[in-house]
Structure 1
Amino acid sequence: MATMTESELRAGVIFGDANTAEYVYMPAGELGMENPVCVYEQPEGREDVSIREAMNIIRRRSLRPASHPQLGRSSC
């Protein structure tokens, strides 16, 4: 069963921390996919991660729903 955080991520909510400039989100093209690819952005660059790894990053970094500097509050 998906957690509330995973459900929000799958719905396009962007998780992040403006102080550290870290963001995790699911690109609009991945919404609704069974095994989606998410994006983990940090000052050093951007990388594709699995939904499982995205959830681990969100938990480990205590990321919360946030407004991305270019995308806003949602990736869709």
Structure 2
Amino acid sequence: MSKVIAEKLSAGYIFGDADNEEYIYLPGGEVGVDNPLCVLERQGSKEDLPLEEASDMVQHLSLRPCSHPLLGKRSF
């Protein structure tokens, strides 16, 4: 797990790839909870991922900070 990516997710940054319609972000309601769940969006479907797994997926999918079509640059 990349601590830098996990910290950026915790700060509300959205990672994604607009061409492939893939986004990972931490919803505002998960801020401050013991085991936060991030959202992985892929072509319209959504899946919950623990923060550690989401951080790994950002690296695996080579996602970069981006702007989400509905949320903008930050998730909260």
With the length of structure 2 as denominator, give the TM-score of the two structures: 0.91
Which amino acid in structure 2 is aligned with residue 28 of structure 1?
Answer: G
Partner of 1:38: 38
Partner of 2:52: 52
Which amino acid in structure 1 is aligned with residue 61 of structure 2?
Answer: R
Which amino acid in structure 2 is aligned with residue 40 of structure 1?
Answer: L
Runs of 4+ displaced beyond 6 Å: none
Partner of 1:73: 73
Partner of 1:17: 17
With the length of structure 1 as denominator, give the TM-score of the two structures: 0.91
Which amino acid in structure 2 is aligned with residue 54 of structure 1?
Answer: A
Aligned residues: 75
Contiguous gaps of at least 5 residues in structure 2: none
Q: Is structure 2 residue 3 aligned with structure 1 residue 3? A: yes
Deviation at 1:56, TM superposition (A): 1.4
Contiguous gaps of at least 5 residues in structure 1: none
Native 8 Å contact 2:13 2:75 kept in 1: yes
